[in-house]
Amino acid sequence: MKIVRKLALAIGLVLPGLLLCPMAAWAADAAEERHFLYVAVPGIRNYLEFGGAGILVFDMDRAHKFVKRIATPASREPKPENIKGICANANTNTQRLYFTTLTKLYCLDLKTENTLWEKALPGGCDRLAITPDGKWLYVPSLEKDHWNIVDAGSGDLAGKIVTKSGSHNTICGLDGARVYCAGLRSRLLTVVDTGTNEALNPVGPFSGPIRPFTVDAAQTLCFVCVNDLLGFEIGDLTTGKMLHRVEVQGFQKGPTKRHGCPSHGVGLTPDEKEIWVVDAFNSRVHVFDVTVMPPRQIAGIKLREQPGWVTFSLDGRYGYPSTGEVVDTKTKKIIAALQDEQGREVHSEKMVEIVFRDGVPVRAGDQFGVGRKWEQSGLGK
């Protein structure tokens, strides 16, 4: 190992740029796990000023420094479309990253970084989810009546789930037994049994149409943003009832640049002790203690632009609002801000962590800030 480190260092002295790529870093620390943040752009509508187009990779172990830009057929388009969602799986046979644009679903091999296929799906695409075994993708049509069920290996269409809810956001539970489907035109959260692909009893109604949402690891609670609310609501995934409405205190609602609702982004820290909710008008993310019910507001973090999303690293050390800051979840301090190779601010609502060991992907995070208490306890491994 020492020889490998010395060789990598020597090469780096001759060719400093070589150490910018993940493979060189892995050669230097082959026995260590390495953590990389994969950020899809344009991830704020089709705004190329926030990082251009492609998949940007950042080294989470080295101050979130820019590593590389992966070009895709979507990024090579003369006018790259909005990236609508991202997910990944690091199982042995499915080490792939998937993302959607307005019209297509793309599949990228995480080891070769080649695009394996692209598929135009009926009704367009929105924010997708993948089952933990890496076999199935649940891809919402673009704010229409259904979700497409797609074979994650081939990209072939395997079926659909019709909700007529304005399909939009999708989460798969950590155990793979349930998929949660939220539409822009419905106050009910659709719950789907992945074994039968049949809809079960929904959750709600909530006080308005559901926007971003998240669930805990045990799949007992959901936390949802709804139209016109600066804050979030809580639903019981067991009984299907709405439990609490939680409003941010000390801040007023105001006009937002995007999404049309005050809070468009909510996430659980992996230990499920805190819930973070975004506040576009005030350019903040607010933090609530979720160990008590209803949750108690405890902190606020000022951001550089209006946020529309928030998620977390797998270990819970970092919070990632869509404005590109890296927040230390313990201190609530901003410790870095994503920049591309041109020094541009990188903003995106579509990002996911990939963990590598010896240059091979071994774990993947999620674009949603889903709870991971079950996983962290060892029961989910």
Are 172 and 195 within 8 A, CB to CB? no
Banded model confidence at residue 11, pLDDT cuts 50, 70, 90: very low
For residue range 89-105, list pLDDT tens digits in order. 998 778 999 999 999 99
Task: Tell me how many domains the chain contains.
Answer: 2
Q: Do 12 and 105 reside in the same domain of the chain?
A: no
pLDDT the model gives residue 18: 35
Q: Do 48 and 9 reside in the same domain of the chain?
A: no
Structure tokens at 161: 């789930």
Query: H or E element: which one contains 24?
Result: helix 22-28
Q: Is residue 188 part of a domain?
A: yes
Nearest CA to 275 out of 283, 262, 263, 261 is that of 263
> What is the average per-residue pLDDT within 352-381?
85
| Better-predicted residue by pLDDT, 4 or 215 | 215
Nearest CA to 55 out of 78, 38, 73, 76 is that of 38
Are 248 and 286 within 8 A, CB to CB? yes
Extended strands (E) in 216-371:
221-226, 231-236, 242-247, 266-268, 274-279, 284-289, 296-302, 310-312, 318-321, 325-328, 333-337, 351-357, 360-364
Q: Do 185 and 334 reside in the same domain of the chain?
A: yes
The range of the structural domain enclosing residue 273 comes to 32-376
For residue range 185-212, list pLDDT tens digits in order. 999 999 999 999 999 999 999 999 999 9
For residue range 35-52, list pLDDT tens digits in order. 999 999 999 999 999 999
**Which DSSP state fits 82?**
P
Q: Do 2 and 97 reside in the same domain of the chain?
A: no
121 three-class SS: coil
Phi then psi for residue 288, to 5 deg, are -125, 140
**Could you give the residue ranges of the DSSP H alpha helices within the chain?**
2-14, 22-28, 373-376
Which amino acid makes up residue 6? K
pLDDT the model gives residue 77: 97
State the Cα torsion 303-308-312-313 to the nearest 10°: -90
Q: Do 53 and 82 reside in the same domain of the chain?
A: yes
Q: Is residue 381 part of a domain?
A: no
Examine the pLDDT at 31 and tell me if it is beyond 80. no
Instruction: Give the position of tokens 């996983």.
Output: 375
Measuring CA to CA, how many Å separate 224 from each of 140, 251, 326? 18, 19, 23
Across the chain, mean pLDDT equals 92
Banded model confidence at residue 32, pLDDT cuts 50, 70, 90: confident
Residue 308 belongs to a domain with what CATH number? Answer: 2.130.10.10
